[in-house]
Structure 1
Amino acid sequence: MTSARARRFALIGKSGAGKSTVAEQIWRDYGIRRISTGAICRQISMLLFGNEEKASTQRIDDALTQLDPSIFFRAALRSAAPEESICVDALRFSADFRFAREQGFEIIRVVASDETRICRLAARGQVFNLNVDGRHRSETELDTSEADFTIHNDGTKDEIEAALRSIFSRGA
């Protein structure tokens, strides 16, 4: 469990919604370190398939979560001390969500329109088919999970900063 002073966040949302952007903003404005659950999966994808395409990372998700439903989340947390305030940049599965709640994480949902998401993913060179990749369980499993906060990320950086100020003004 975290200490009374530590504040732990986990972000949920679809690919391209801006979870990484929000996590980076939390780090810049509040000094809370970003922990990436996807980094390990992307590294494995590069080793096995030579790419980081959603189809490849989703295949890895499907295979490795059979071993442990929260394998990427648990691996990411290995670098964090229990008393450290952190922001986990992406939860994808119900098991991760439950584990985060058990550990006292505050959940922030980051949302953006499909059009915005597709543009962002294309801009970073990611192949993403909304009708195929967008239906994978890593994109849909947490759609109905209840978040503590929601950030709408179709707007400006100032709007993200305002939403974060509101979240941080509430305290732990």
Structure 2
Amino acid sequence: MSKAARLALIGKSGAGKSLAGRYLSVGLGVPHIKTGVICREISRMLFDNEDKRSTQRLDDALTALDPSIFLRAALRPIKIENGFVVDALRFREDLNLARDNGCKIVRILAPDEFRFTRLAERQQVFDRQTDNQHRSETELDDAEVDFDIVNDADLVAFEGKLAEIVARG
């Protein structure tokens, strides 16, 4: 992977993608790109919150204009050839765009109860019945990936798996 490493993370809300993205970005010396930041900012401006229901409504509306609108916007300020870690692909079009840009795909897996606890700790409103079924949570469930990493609250083991990816660089 080296200095020009390009990684894209997939996984459900609360799985630990942002934590993994920060770790990998620092370890590989490349920018950490956060696609969700843009959506959450718009949600706060329009709805005065960043609840999943609000961000999912934005996903639905804006991805109708451009299926990879958030990923394209997040990548705009960087030089792709210098490498990056993008921490949240949500849709098939994003996955294809990431692969077209030379990304290795890393899936972060976490048990639902762990995810829901993390979301509650972040005070992110997340309805298990409806929000967990939105396409932004399910569309990449069957995606082919280069690495699967389990985050089940054992931070040492989680960081160990991330370190293995960094070491391959």
TM-score relative to the length of structure 2: 0.95
In 1, are the aligned partners of 2:114 and 2:153 still within 8 Å (CA)? no
Q: 1:43 matched to which residue of 2?
A: 41
Q: Distance in 1 between matches of 2:164 and 2:24?
A: 12
Q: How does 1:43-122 map to 2 (within 5 A)?
A: 43-122=41-120
Moved over 6 A (4+): none
- 2:17 pairs with one of 16, 19, 37: 19
Q: 2:139 matched to which residue of 1?
A: 141
Q: 1:168 matched to which residue of 2?
A: 166
The amino acid of 2:18's aligned partner reads S
Aligned length: 169
| Equivalent position SS for 2:105 | strand
Q: Distance in 2 between matches of 1:79 and 1:119?
A: 33
Q: Distance in 2 between matches of 1:97 and 1:157?
A: 27
| Equivalent position SS for 2:120 | helix
In 1, are the aligned partners of 2:9 and 2:88 still within 8 Å (CA)? yes
Cα offset for 1:130?
1.3
The amino acid of 1:29's aligned partner reads G
Cα offset for 1:82?
2.5
1:92-150 Cα shifts (integer Å, max 9, x gaps): 00000011111110100001000000000000001111110000000000000011001
| Equivalent position SS for 1:143 | coil
Gaps of 5+ in 2: none
Q: Distance in 2 between matches of 1:31 and 1:93?
A: 26
| Equivalent position SS for 1:55 | helix
The amino acid of 1:146's aligned partner reads E
Q: Going by fraction, where is helix more abundant, 1 or 2?
A: 2
TM-score relative to the length of structure 1: 0.93
| Equivalent position SS for 2:106 | strand
RMSD over equivalenced CA pairs, Å: 1.5
The amino acid of 2:136's aligned partner reads S
Q: Distance in 2 between matches of 1:106 and 1:11?
A: 9
1:25-57 Cα shifts (integer Å, max 9, x gaps): 113333222101011100100010000000000
| Equivalent position SS for 1:104 | coil
| Equivalent position SS for 2:7 | strand
My pick for the range that moved more, 153-162 or 88-97, is 153-162
In 1, are the aligned partners of 2:3 and 2:30 still within 8 Å (CA)? no
